[in-house]
Structure 1
């Protein structure tokens, strides 16, 4: 065989050199070529990073790959940028054209490009922009466990009455700091849900969590003791949040598992650690900020805290009562239902 002019044969449109004469007899080359072609799958160039996007509904129209992506219009301004600079850079970097609808039209962003890879790159960059912007938004929903019954409410109102009467002169103490007695709860995970589509996604995740996490636990103890006080920082004279402690190891495990289930969801605020700090907020300096209460005679540091030193000394071991948990809610922040608790987007029965 002339090594400078080797035999060439084709498999699935690709040309291959036959380097030695003794590999296949000349009269069998066509038979071997056909047999190999039948056994080998066609080769497709592929980027391994595309695998997570296999379920994208990318379609081809007029020779262009197209993806329609529903995005809350609250993020449109950040995607577009001043003088459309962000959008221009995004299109240039990904070799795509991206159409942003007006806020009055719909929430559907349309991405067009010559290759699927360009579409995926654009979607990935859009997701990164949205994720970063989402965490700057206020929480809209949260997973809560209602911690209310007649005993707990009664003891909480007694606690509130004594605090206002005996310690109302302490810095920062006022009635506006107190949690509503019908909205006492435990918080597990917080969401930022910007439209109906995202709320629908959260509903599906709640159902999945119920089936894969909550039901398999076969919870046996749903009674939670609410007793004693603690605060979020090291100085009881500079407190932002004063809360009641809760006791139930099984519910602690449940809360941790629920948080872990949602930790990879882009709609959820990142958890501070792997262990949920179960607590029932009683007083919160943020409530005064929301009520727009400002004391011009108090500096900024003091304005956002209150002096709870005497409260903690007197009520350190105060027992609010035992609560039997019956439900897990996806609650809407800053709302009130007909029963006085937060309005619920989804409820899981325990």
Structure 2
């Protein structure tokens, strides 16, 4: 079935088939470059016009922007991956020194050879970029003073009435200053990518304001819910958020995938841990679940507060600004 239905990868608007290969473990070397022993993913060697391949007096050349943290995957253990790519495509691949941000430059006598090498490098980059931990996330801040006060009341009452329940203690509650909705996660691996992400968010400003009618969104935070099927073994408890349309006749409910975490067993070991989302759930052995039956029964419809939401921002993980919220590298207001 892998042959009949291969994984498809979108690179610069073009779709490539990814043939299954067995990846080996990557090991750090004591060379100038960390390297790896993995064989590069294979892809179709078809000519491609998605890259700026320049003709020179010695043949053809293409420069690719690649974050330095990904160099080691192109080099491979003891340079084996780069050597194999160069041999198979009859090209030369120049990579900056480790830690120096720059471009990987591919040169060759024939345009098709350079295009093939570029495609293979891009597939490698795409594959290993997906394995990088996310560095930033799109967020809606829920840390309005009224919501923070409601959350603190909730925490106090839960600890008073349910503090004897298995796994319930103060360490698993969210920091009230960092209450938020996570809209999406980003792996921005250098300053250039951070700048580009901020620029792209700004380009979406008009579209965002069309959706919000250039007005803040009236938001109510009320009720709690959990993520798994067993309320006695819960890892994440989240607040439900309702965005009203102004008529009070209809509401749009923000459900599980987009949620405001209020209790998370990840915080038990690491108070600064953020919600990792459905695509990066930690191993069950790394966290101790808690019994939320009584919390759900007593506080199922707890009211945290209401306010007008007026911005979306790119927040940086493991950071704090002057308000106690995450530092922002880009923001768009609704009004």
- The two structures have a TM-score, normalised by structure 1, of 0.72
For 2:100 and 2:224, the matched residues in 1 are separated by 51
Query: Is 1:314 matched up with 2:298?
Result: yes
DSSP-derived class of the 1:311 partner: helix
CA drift of 1:49 comes to 5.7
Return closer, same or farther for 1:334/1:169 CA change in 2, 3 Å cut-off.
same
For 1:148 and 1:309, the matched residues in 2 are separated by 26
For 1:133 and 1:101, the matched residues in 2 are separated by 18
Gapped regions of structure 2 (runs ≥ 5): 1-44, 274-282
Query: Is 1:66 matched up with 2:61?
Result: yes
For each residue in 1:142-179, what CA deviation from the matched residue of structure 2 results, as whole angstroms up to 9, or x when unmatched?
11111122221111001111222332232222222111
Aligned partners of 2:146 and 2:304 also within 8 Å: yes
Return closer, same or farther for 1:134/1:105 CA change in 2, 3 Å cut-off.
closer
Per the alignment, residue 120 of structure 1 pairs with 115
Gapped regions of structure 1 (runs ≥ 5): 1-46, 257-274, 294-298
For 2:259 and 2:81, the matched residues in 1 are separated by 42
CA drift of 1:310 comes to 1.4
DSSP-derived class of the 1:341 partner: coil
Choose 1 or 2 for highest CA Rg.
1
CA drift of 1:291 comes to 4.9
For each residue in 1:286-313, what CA deviation from the matched residue of structure 2 results, as whole angstroms up to 9, or x when unmatched?
22243599xxxxx964834222221111
Quick one: which of 201, 206, 217 aligns to 1:206?
A: 201
Per the alignment, residue 269 of structure 1 pairs with none
Query: Is 1:101 matched up with 2:99?
Result: no
Aligned partners of 1:66 and 1:112 also within 8 Å: yes
Aligned partners of 1:79 and 1:129 also within 8 Å: yes
DSSP-derived class of the 1:193 partner: coil
Per the alignment, residue 279 of structure 1 pairs with 259
DSSP-derived class of the 1:132 partner: helix
- The two structures have a TM-score, normalised by structure 2, of 0.75
Return closer, same or farther for 1:199/1:300 CA change in 2, 3 Å cut-off.
closer
For 2:304 and 2:101, the matched residues in 1 are separated by 49
Query: Is 1:129 matched up with 2:148?
Result: no
For each residue in 1:56-75, what CA deviation from the matched residue of structure 2 results, as whole angstroms up to 9, or x when unmatched?
2x323341211222211111
Query: Is 1:336 matched up with 2:317?
Result: no
Residues 190-339 of structure 1: matches in 2 within 5 Å?
A: 190-211=185-206, 213-219=207-213, 222-248=217-243, 277-291=257-271, 301=285, 303-339=287-323
Q: CA RMSD in A?
A: 3.0
Aligned partners of 1:329 and 1:348 also within 8 Å: yes
Per the alignment, residue 267 of structure 1 pairs with none
Aligned partners of 1:183 and 1:341 also within 8 Å: yes
Per the alignment, residue 37 of structure 2 pairs with none
DSSP-derived class of the 1:182 partner: helix
CA drift of 1:129 comes to 1.4
For each residue in 1:14-63, what CA deviation from the matched residue of structure 2 results, as whole angstroms up to 9, or x when unmatched?
xxxxxxxxxxxxxxxxxxxxxxxxxxxxxxxxx9862433xx2x323341
Return closer, same or farther for 1:205/1:302 CA change in 2, 3 Å cut-off.
closer
